A and B are shown apart, each in its own frame.
Chain A
Amino acid sequence: QSVLTQPPSVSAAPGQKVTISCSGSSSNIGNNYVSWYQQLPGTAPKVLIYENNKRPSGIPDRFSVSKSGTSATLGITGLQTGDEADYYCLSWDSSLSFGVFGGGTKLTVL
């Protein structure tokens, strides 16, 4: 059972928008940075968002984030079949003194 809670799966049609939530607490998301990772099948995870809302170069603005209180949400617009992947949120937990991941969300583009 993960400290950060994500929905196990989401799905949407090509071209549509989808959101993936990540729920935590004041000891993690509420007071620490959140980052988001995309893992395509058979590959290493790739950072999509870091320090709450920064995108590495090469990550399109179709990927956006919002953060409110103890939750964060990743939004993906203009869905493409190439977006099918597992998505993970990550934050530091100040009470546990270690990093915590969400359980991951599998995105299916129908």
Chain B
Amino acid sequence: EVYLVESGGGLVKPGGSLRLSCAASGFTFSSYDMTWIRQAPGKGLEWVSGVSASDGRTYYADSVKGRFTISRDNAKNSLYLQMNTLRAEDTAVYYCASSTSPPHWGQGTLVTVSS
């Protein structure tokens, strides 16, 4: 069975940094594109960033481009999201998702940006 477990969330001050991790199991991690998606409190879902399995290309929503960096370590079956220059509007639950068939999502980790 596919499992995705996010970690690394917490409280951080505006302008600060945080690194999220997503531990994957139950599938051949290196073969699938991976994605981060977030949901601000009381708001809808927002696609944040993705990384290709085939060539490592990365993709970012305009709202995080230049501040967030997605990466993957296939040897560790792990996905990461380095978040810099955090803003209050980055406060959200962050989910990692796999492009498996069907797609799978983790349970999310909460990031709160507040002074």
Residues of A participating in the B interface, judged by any CB pair closer than 8 Å: 2, 35, 37, 39, 44-47, 50-51, 54, 56, 86, 88, 90, 96-104
**Could you tell me if B35 and A54 are in contact, using CB atoms closer than 8 angstroms?**
no
Q: Are B102 and A56 in contact (CB under 8 A)?
A: yes
Q: List residues of chain A with CB within 8 A of the CB of B95.
A: 44-45
Query: Chain B contacts of A35 at CB under 8 A?
Result: 103
Given contacts A47-B102, A99-B47, 4 further A-B contacts (CB under 8 A): A47-B103, A98-B47, A99-B35, A101-B46
Interface of B is mostly: strand
A-B contact count (CB 8 A): 52
**A-contacting residues, B88-108, CB 8 Å:** 95, 101-108
Interface residues of B (CB under 8 A from A): 35, 37, 44-47, 49-50, 59-62, 95, 101-108
Q: Which residues from A are CB-within-8-Å of B45? A: 37, 39, 45, 88, 90, 101, 104
Given contacts A98-B60, A99-B35, contact A50 B102 (CB under 8 A): yes
Q: Which residue of B lies closest to A97 (CB)?
A: B59
Cβ contact within 8 Å between A54 and B107? no
